[in-house]
C-alpha cells in the first residue's frame, strides 16, 4: 500500500509538472485567438497587445517546464500549435485588416504567405529538434515570435499616432511610422523569407558567467524605464535591431570567413 501511495503521488506530481506549463501554452493560444477577433473588429491596438502578451506566455511555458521537469513531446507539439495561431495567423490577420486589405489583388496573398512560411519555420524547428540538430546559441532562421512582436508593436504605435490607442510615442519613432506603413507589404515578405532561411539568430539560451559591468546595468535600467513609458516603441526598436543585426552578422561572417559555433 505504501508503494502504491508513493507511485500515485509521483504520477500526480508528474501530471502537475506537465499541466503547469500547458496552462501558459493555453494562455498563449487564447491570446492569439482573441487577437484575431480584435483585428477583425478593427481594434488593432488591442490585437497587437494580445500578440505581445502571447509572447510573454510563450517565453515562460518552456522555462516552467524545465524548472518543474515537465518537458514532454505533448508540450512541444502543443507549443508549436499555439505559436502557429498567435505568431503566424494572428499577425497576418492584424496586418491584413490594418493595412493590406487596401490592396485587393495582393494583400491577402502576402498575409497568407507570411502565415504559411511561419508554420514552415515551426515545422523546421521541430524537425531539427527531434533530429538533435538544434543549437543552444542560435536559431536557424528567424524565430516566429520576433516578427510577430515587431508587427504587433508597429500596429500599436501607429494606432496611438492616430489617436486610437492609449499611450505616447517617441518622436523619432513616430516620424518613421508612416514610411513603415507604406512598406508593410515588403516588410512582411522579408520577414517571411527570414523565417524559412538559414540565417542564424541569437537564441540567448546558452549559460554564461554572470558578470555585469556598471555600463550594462545602466543600460538595463534605462531600457526598463523606457519600456514602462513607451513599451510599444521599445519593443518595435528592439526587435527591429534584433532582425537587422542578424542579417548584418551574416554579411560580416561571410566577409571575414568566420564559421558559426554551435
pLDDT of the residue at 11: 43
pLDDT of the residue at 256: 72
Contact between residue 33 and residue 85 where contact means Cβ atoms under 8 Å apart: yes
Q: What is the dihedral of CA 154, 159, 165, 166, to 10 degrees?
A: 50
Contact between residue 237 and residue 177 where contact means Cβ atoms under 8 Å apart: no
Q: Where are the domains of the chain?
A: 15-205+213-256
Q: pLDDT digits over 61-81, tens only?
A: 767 666 766 566 777 788 899
Least confident residue range of 43-57, 105-119, 143-157, 242-256: 242-256
CA angle 212-216-221, nearest 5°? 115
pLDDT of the residue at 143: 95
Residue 54 banded pLDDT, cuts 50, 70, 90: very high
Least confident residue range of 7-16, 132-141, 205-214: 7-16
Q: Is the overall model pTM greater than 0.75, yes or no?
A: yes
pLDDT of the residue at 210: 61
Q: Coil, strand, or helix at residue 85?
A: helix
CATH of segment(s) 15-205+213-256: 1.20.120.1760
**239 CB contacts (<8 Å, ≥6 apart)?**
146, 147, 149, 150, 153
> Closest Cα partner for 56 from 80, 28, 82?
28
Amino acid at each position: 500500500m505504501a508503494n502504491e501511495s508513493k507511485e500515485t503521488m509521483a504520477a500526480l506530481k508528474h501530471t502537475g509538472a506537465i499541466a503547469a506549463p500547458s496552462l501558459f501554452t493555453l494562455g498563449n493560444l487564447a491570446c492569439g485567438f482573441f487577437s484575431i477577433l480584435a483585428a477583425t473588429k478593427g481594434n488593432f491596438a488591442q490585437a497587437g497587445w494580445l500578440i505581445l502578451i502571447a509572447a510573454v506566455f510563450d517565453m515562460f511555458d518552456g522555462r516552467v517546464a524545465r524548472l518543474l521537469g515537465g518537458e514532454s513531446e505533448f508540450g512541444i507539439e502543443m507549443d508549436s500549435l499555439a505559436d502557429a495561431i498567435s505568431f503566424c495567423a494572428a499577425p497576418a490577420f492584424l496586418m491584413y485588416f490594418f493595412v493590406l486589405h487596401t490592396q485587393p489583388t495582393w494583400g491577402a496573398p502576402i498575409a497568407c504567405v507570411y502565415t504559411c512560411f511561419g508554420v514552415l519555420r515551426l515545422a523546421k524547428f521541430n524537425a531539427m529538434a527531434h533530429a538533435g540538430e538544434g543549437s543552444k546559441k542560435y536559431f536557424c532562421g528567424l524565430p516566429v515570435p520576433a516578427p510577430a512582436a515587431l508587427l504587433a508593436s508597429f500596429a500599436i504605435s501607429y494606432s496611438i499616432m492616430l489617436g486610437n490607442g492609449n499611450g505616447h510615442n517617441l518622436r523619432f519613432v513616430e516620424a518613421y511610422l508612416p514610411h513603415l506603413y507604406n512598406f508593410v507589404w515588403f516588410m512582411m515578405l522579408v520577414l517571411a523569407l527570414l523565417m524559412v532561411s538559414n540565417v542564424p539568430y541569437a537564441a540567448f539560451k546558452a549559460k554564461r558567467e554572470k558578470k555585469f559591468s556598471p555600463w550594462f546595468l545602466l543600460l538595463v535600467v534605462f531600457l526598463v524605464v523606457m519600456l514602462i513609458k513607451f513599451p510599444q516603441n521599445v519593443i518595435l526598436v528592439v526587435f527591429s535591431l534584433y532582425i537587422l543585426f542578424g542579417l548584418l552578422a551574416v554579411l560580416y561572417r561571410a566577409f571575414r570567413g568566420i564559421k558559426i559555433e554551435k
